[in-house]
Chain A
Amino acid sequence: MNKNMSAKGGSAAGGKKILEGSRAIAETVNNCGVAVVSAYPITPQTHIVEELAKIKADGQGNFEYVRAESEFAAISIVLGAAATGVRTYTATSAQGLLLMTEVLFNVAGMRLPVVMTDANRAISAPINIWNDQQDAMTMRDSGWLMVYGETVQETCDLHILAYKIAEATLIPAMVNLDGFVLTHVVEPVEIEDAKKIKIFLSAWKPTEILDVKKPLTLGAFVTPAHYMEIRKELHDDIVAAKKLMTKEMVNFKKIFGRKLSLCEYGGAKDAGTVIVAMGSVLGTIREAVETHCNASLRNAGILKITSLRPFPDEEIIKLIGSKKNIIVIDKSISLGTEGILATEIRRVLYGKSKARITSVIMGLGGRDITMEMIGKAVEESKKTKEQVIFIGK
């Protein structure tokens, strides 16, 4: 360890603070004991990496900050650092995430537990800097663990969990939060200090790394004789990560006192209609249901999905398998079919439920989602014969 740095590094004070979401994430990541940070600026991720640079400049961070020449470079740089056996971090949005595509698959395939934040933003063209969830949903098949925060607090907590799960499973983890909505909002948030995080997140001590004392080759050329088994194992391990996540969420609650879940049901237990969504829109949905601003929301249930990968199949069946009317709100779309989360829900419930499932696309490119629009979505979904509808007004 670099002695000069370790004395002051990674020890920003914890406690309840009123912070911008980006600053809260930066402080949490620093307190997780990250060793190498590399990033390239893109709106709306910028504040996170600016804050990390400031933390470093102020002598409060015990990490190397590598300025990258592109997002492709940033993720490649953390790949190199992770392969050398240290805790790493990067963050991006939209085009940046897409530019990383090749490396995202590579990081996962090489089983390197990189943790990254994606401040979710719409994809060009047309160019648009505002929030939706198309970017990360497009990377769904890259082999990363993917979780979605509803609030700044939950997003911070998911970062701590992400390091734990990524390092235990050797699968990289992407923590998603809605760009601007959460990155730029100022709210009270509990920043966990490094000491407490260390209790939850023990040191990562990998053995298969770049080390001159044990000169291994990483990233060898794999022929058809081995490729398939290696890919299958990554699949199996992503599925198996669900159990570990559930267990660590319980540990998380014990140490930090806050609840995390793969997915969570809210609203009326006997609801016939249930709205499924991910991310910050859940706040709007909750309020719309609680105030039943629209008659169709009376007695509606809400299913919050936090973990997209692994996807909590059994939990979802248990929670909404008996519902009659399921509305899945997506801020992304697999063009030509329907919302991506909707397809996931349809897959899970196939043969297990007789529910009518409607995919509702909302909030693309930063379009506001109001409580009235949530009501309208439910109303329309009951009337429409379409599998997918767009509610923008």
Chain B
Amino acid sequence: MHIKLSVQPGTTDKIKTGNWREWHYPEIDHEKCIGCGLCDQACPEGICFPTGEKNKAGRVYYEKDLDWCKGCGLCAEICPVQAVTMREEIK
């Protein structure tokens, strides 16, 4: 048997689903972000994450990785402080 049937973990990361976005992308207001992590929990792609950088209020704010973001807008929906806005994307 030469063909490997098993697949190495996490390898779909090669596929950048960011090109699925049609109209909108999320923009995160770092100063508004309270670092609660709800966007991270709600993101179907799992690509909202704490940046490690702090805002003026001393909170570690979140960002998203547009390489994979499909633009669903759930992060904006779930954000309790409206720190995420879906902006029109001009490609």
Establish whether A and B are touching in the complex (CB under 8 Å).
yes
Instruction: Using CB atoms and an 8 Å cutoff, list the residues of chain A in contact with chain B.
Output: 110-111, 169-170, 208, 215-218, 220, 226, 229-230, 233, 237
CB of B2 within 8 Å of the partner chain = yes
Among A215, A226, A229, A237, point to the contact of B9 (Cβ < 8 A). Answer: A215
- How far apart sit A241 and B47, CA to CA, in the bound complex (Å)? 47
CB of B3 within 8 Å of the partner chain = yes
What residues of chain B lie closer than 8 Å to A170, measured between beta carbons?
1
Q: Are A208 and B2 in contact (CB under 8 A)?
A: no
The distance from the CB of B37 to the nearest CB of chain A, in whole angstroms, is 25
- How far apart sit A100 and B8, CA to CA, in the bound complex (Å)? 29
The distance from the CB of B9 to the nearest CB of chain A, in whole angstroms, is 5
Instruction: Using CB atoms and an 8 Å cutoff, list the residues of chain B in contact with chain A.
Output: 1-9
What residues of chain B lie closer than 8 Å to A217, measured between beta carbons?
6-9
Among A110, A216, A229, A233, point to the contact of B8 (Cβ < 8 A). Answer: A216
Q: Tell me the nearest residue of chain B to A110, going by C-beta.
A: B5
The distance from the CB of A388 to the nearest CB of chain B, in whole angstroms, is 38
New A-B contacts (11) at CB < 8 Å, excluding given A218-B7, A220-B5, A237-B1: A110-B5, A169-B1, A208-B4, A208-B5, A216-B7, A216-B8, A217-B6, A218-B6, A229-B3, A230-B3, A233-B1
Q: Are A218 and B5 in contact (CB under 8 A)?
A: yes
- How far apart sit A111 and B1, CA to CA, in the bound complex (Å)? 9
Q: Are A230 and B5 in contact (CB under 8 A)?
A: yes
What residues of chain A lie closer than 8 Å to B6, measured between beta carbons?
208, 216-218
- How far apart sit A217 and B12, CA to CA, in the bound complex (Å)? 12
- How far apart sit A346 and B1, CA to CA, in the bound complex (Å)? 30
Among A111, A169, A220, A229, point to the contact of B7 (Cβ < 8 A). Answer: A220
What residues of chain B lie closer than 8 Å to A169, measured between beta carbons?
1
Which 4 residue pairs of A and B lie closest in terms of their CB atoms, listed nearest first? A217-B7, A216-B6, A208-B6, A215-B9
- How far apart sit A233 and B5, CA to CA, in the bound complex (Å)? 11
What residues of chain A lie closer than 8 Å to B5, measured between beta carbons?
110-111, 208, 218, 220, 230
Q: Tell me the nearest residue of chain A to B10, going by C-beta.
A: A215
What residues of chain A lie closer than 8 Å to B3, measured between beta carbons?
226, 229-230, 233
What residues of chain B lie closer than 8 Å to A233, measured between beta carbons?
1-3
| Interchain Cβ contacts under 8 Å between A and B, 23 examples | A110-B5, A111-B1, A111-B5, A169-B1, A208-B4, A208-B5, A208-B6, A215-B9, A216-B7, A216-B9, A217-B6, A217-B7, A217-B8, A217-B9, A218-B6, A218-B7, A220-B5, A220-B7, A229-B3, A230-B3, A233-B1, A233-B2, A237-B1
